[in-house]
Structure 1
Amino acid sequence: MAMDARYEEIGILKEIAEVLNESTESELMLSQVLKKLLHLTGLETGWVFLIDESGRHVLAAEEHLPPALSAENKRRMCQGDCWCVSRYYKKQLTKATNIIECKRIEEAIVEGSEDTGGLTHHATVPLRAGGERFGLLNVGSPKKKEFRSDELALLEGVAFQIGTALKRIHLTQREQETVLLAERNRLARDLHDSVNQLLFSLTLTARGGMEMSTGEVRETFGYIQDLAQEALGEMRGLIWQLKPRGLEKGLVSSLKEYAGMLGLTIHAEVTGIASFPARVEEALWRIGQEALANCKKHAQTSIVHLHFKISDESVVMSIRDDGCGFQHDENHELPSLGLKSMKMRTEALKGRFHLKSSHGQGTEITIELPI
């Protein structure tokens, strides 16, 4: 029997490894491996918390939660503290552990509002790879109050596999971001060294032709010069977007400098300490560039108001102009590719995008991103 159990354990670990090796996206991977784990072990319910350095947890995957935990859009799972998350944050949870009672289910029982499906206890296992920690794997079944040592050992092996896969995915994403940044820098250099210089030469040539000509020919050269100057300005803006000089000075300073290049004046106000993860800063920078470019092209005003409100949990950026505005109905699709791009960037980071505009009342874009 012992040998059969060992073979079964190896088989489970092998099937889990196959799922993990094929995965390139964290949340999809967690959902797939949790479903596979429950199927192979005969357990019924499971969920995964990803936990950041501040102790804030996010429900990244779940399977067969009882109504007590799934009610109100999983409110009890997404809010509040519990024993396992608290112990994890304090670094007191380092291996697979039997949880004597589940605080979230206890609260549901006390409230008497929803069915717990017979689930009262669960095992919890930290997800880690070497010295890095990523969160918790929790599993349980109705009426099951304790996990045997061999069950906990298996769960620990699976959790280590998941942690290693999460680390691999994170490293791959960082590598892709590094490659993308290098390619942007290369393209920015090429544009500056070739197209930008050609446009500058065309501007000088047109100016020289205008000074040596009269009548309609002079007007034609003047028109060519104006077009070249406009194209040169567009090219410099494109180079800025590809390689944001000055972003190391901070997001607000960079947006001010970019606005100045466009001929806009920014009135900026910052509430809170402007410090957030690189991915959030990059998204706000790109969204801010697009919004300022829209102001330049469409608002018919040179004054823009920029406001940041930063807390421990989120950053809110609003960009407002007092220009001509346009009629916008929130129930209809966004009217331009640029606005759609801003919304997509926001939602990719699980943020919220809001657009407010009407004729003669200006336009305001508000972005809220979790940090």
Structure 2
Amino acid sequence: MNDHSNITLLKEIAELLNEETELIPMLKGALRKLLKGTNFSTGWIFFIDDNGKIDLVVHENLPDGLCHNNCEYLKKGGCWCVSRFRRNQLKKASNIIECQRIENAISARVGDTAGITHHATVPLQSGNERFGILNVATPYTVEFTEEELELLESVAFQIGSAIKRIYLTQQEKEMALVRERNRLARDLHDSVNQLLFSVTLTARAGVEMTDQEEIKETFREIQNLTQSALTEMRALIWQLRPQGLESGLIDAIKAYAEMLKLKLTINVSGVIQFPSRVEEALFRITQEALNNIRKHAGVQEATIYLTVTQTDILLVIKDEGRGFKIDQNTKIPSIGLQSIRDRAAALGGTAEWVSEIGKGTELFVRLPY
């Protein structure tokens, strides 16, 4: 490929990266253009987090042997490129002398690998932030030219900058959402919450001001209903703006349970130190579960088990309440359970329930870590 076609390709990739606003379609499109405009025939991108955990986020034109069982052999085993990246030693586009992942796929004979035995690799980064690696390969090619590696490095630079841009955009959207939640929480607290509190005081005064038992009972009923509405409003304000989460997940959960007047037992195993997105998801899921217990279980006690391993977070929330019947052929009951499942799924996790009439409910949430 000559310099002119290289410049044209880089321009096309840059235009695509600037137009796309979603991460995965952007990566897929850039990888597809790179393969179409070069001698590279296949490619894949790993994201690698701060703990060294890898995630195969996109791939293009993989042969059957590497696609086998949802890319099983690309996702497991050792590899020089991943090891070097984890040790912060992968600085530029490089030829891979051997790739254990590809070798394992060839040895397993699970499908044609189309002559792919080696690949080139390049880190995806923006400044000091590192996101993962881009790998490309060509059939029956052990070593790539300096020109190909230089082009690969230029493309990786563009992709790294685009990833950073999308992350910044997502952070700004999340911050705007938090600001709006805080505004709504303040409005509810300053208006509706105060109004309900005033109605409660008025009803209490009404009980004292009359001698007629029927009127007293009416005021007591107004007081009870208003107090329930006040509790609901405080719970809603908590959902909009978690109070105490800055002091840690466990303290925030305890404070929320106390606000709901639930007696809560919490058992923790492992190190509780999560990314903010995971921490908020766990808090929101627990909020919803505790709300369900207060509203539907008919009990004032619950137990939480939070277990953290090297690969998973397991959250179990248990009550000894009235329970409900789970019918696998129907939709989830509309008492917040779908919200819990959606929050878990958004982080690649799962949420399941075990419940029986008269024997309580257990919620099991598993998130990748």
- Which TM-score band (shorter chain)? over 0.9
Residue of structure 2 equivalent to 1:12: 9
For 2:329 and 2:131, the matched residues in 1 are separated by 39
Residue of structure 1 equivalent to 2:152: 155
For 1:15 and 1:295, the matched residues in 2 are separated by 55
The correspondence for 1:339, drawn from 337, 340, 344, is 337
Residue of structure 1 equivalent to 2:200: 203
Residue of structure 1 equivalent to 2:99: 102
For 1:219 and 1:114, the matched residues in 2 are separated by 78
Asked whether the equivalents of residues 351 and 363 of structure 2 are also in contact (C-alpha less than 8 Å), the reply is yes
Counterparts of 1:353-364 in structure 2 under 5 Å?
Answer: 353-364=351-362
1:232 aligns with 2:234: no
For 2:328 and 2:161, the matched residues in 1 are separated by 43
**Counterpart of 2:323 in structure 1: which amino acid?**
G
- The alignment of Structure 1 onto Structure 2 pairs a total of residues equal to 368
Residue of structure 2 equivalent to 1:280: 278
The correspondence for 2:263, drawn from 262, 265, 271, is 265
How far did 1:346 drift?
0.5
The correspondence for 1:352, drawn from 350, 361, 365, is 350
Asked whether the equivalents of residues 43 and 62 of structure 2 are also in contact (C-alpha less than 8 Å), the reply is yes
Identity of aligned residues (%): 53
Q: Which moved more, 1:300-309 or 1:327-336?
A: 327-336
For 1:346 and 1:24, the matched residues in 2 are separated by 24
Residue of structure 1 equivalent to 2:322: 324
Q: Which moved more, 1:208-217 or 1:126-135?
A: 208-217
For 1:105 and 1:80, the matched residues in 2 are separated by 10
Counterparts of 1:41-80 in structure 2 under 5 Å?
Answer: 41-80=38-77
For 1:316 and 1:143, the matched residues in 2 are separated by 45
How far did 1:109 drift?
2.3
Q: Deviations over 1:69-115 (max 9, x none)?
A: 21122111222221110011112211111112222111122333332
1:245 aligns with 2:236: no
**Counterpart of 2:244 in structure 1: which amino acid?**
G
Q: Which moved more, 1:142-151 or 1:121-130?
A: 142-151
How far did 1:337 drift?
5.2
For 2:133 and 2:368, the matched residues in 1 are separated by 20
Q: Which moved more, 1:76-85 or 1:274-283?
A: 76-85
For 1:92 and 1:208, the matched residues in 2 are separated by 73
Q: Which moved more, 1:110-119 or 1:281-290?
A: 110-119
How far did 1:334 drift?
1.2
How far did 1:43 drift?
2.4
Q: Deviations over 1:173-229 (max 9, x none)?
A: 122222222222222122111111111111111222232232433332222222211
Query: What is the CA RMSD across the aligned residues, in angstroms?
Result: 1.6
The correspondence for 1:87, drawn from 68, 84, 87, is 84
Q: Which moved more, 1:66-75 or 1:347-356?
A: 66-75
For 1:362 and 1:80, the matched residues in 2 are separated by 43
For 1:329 and 1:69, the matched residues in 2 are separated by 39
The correspondence for 1:291, drawn from 285, 289, 292, is 289
For 2:225 and 2:364, the matched residues in 1 are separated by 34
SS at match of 1:41: coil
Asked whether the equivalents of residues 268 and 305 of structure 2 are also in contact (C-alpha less than 8 Å), the reply is yes
1:179 aligns with 2:196: no
How far did 1:313 drift?
2.0
**Counterpart of 2:152 in structure 1: which amino acid?**
L
How far did 1:59 drift?
0.2
Structure 2 unpaired stretches of 5+: none
Q: Deviations over 1:333-365 (max 9, x none)?
A: 212151111111111111121111121221111
Q: Which moved more, 1:106-115 or 1:184-193?
A: 106-115
1:145 aligns with 2:142: yes
Q: Which moved more, 1:135-144 or 1:36-45?
A: 36-45
Residue of structure 2 equivalent to 1:113: 110
Asked whether the equivalents of residues 66 and 73 of structure 2 are also in contact (C-alpha less than 8 Å), the reply is yes
For 2:297 and 2:288, the matched residues in 1 are separated by 13
Residue of structure 2 equivalent to 1:191: 188
Counterparts of 1:18-57 in structure 2 under 5 Å?
Answer: 18-57=15-54
**Counterpart of 1:340 in structure 2: which amino acid?**
Q
TM-score by length of 1: 0.95
How far did 1:136 drift?
0.5
SS at match of 2:37: helix
How far did 1:42 drift?
4.2
Q: Deviations over 1:291-322 (max 9, x none)?
A: 00000011111121100001122211110111
Q: Which moved more, 1:214-223 or 1:298-307?
A: 214-223
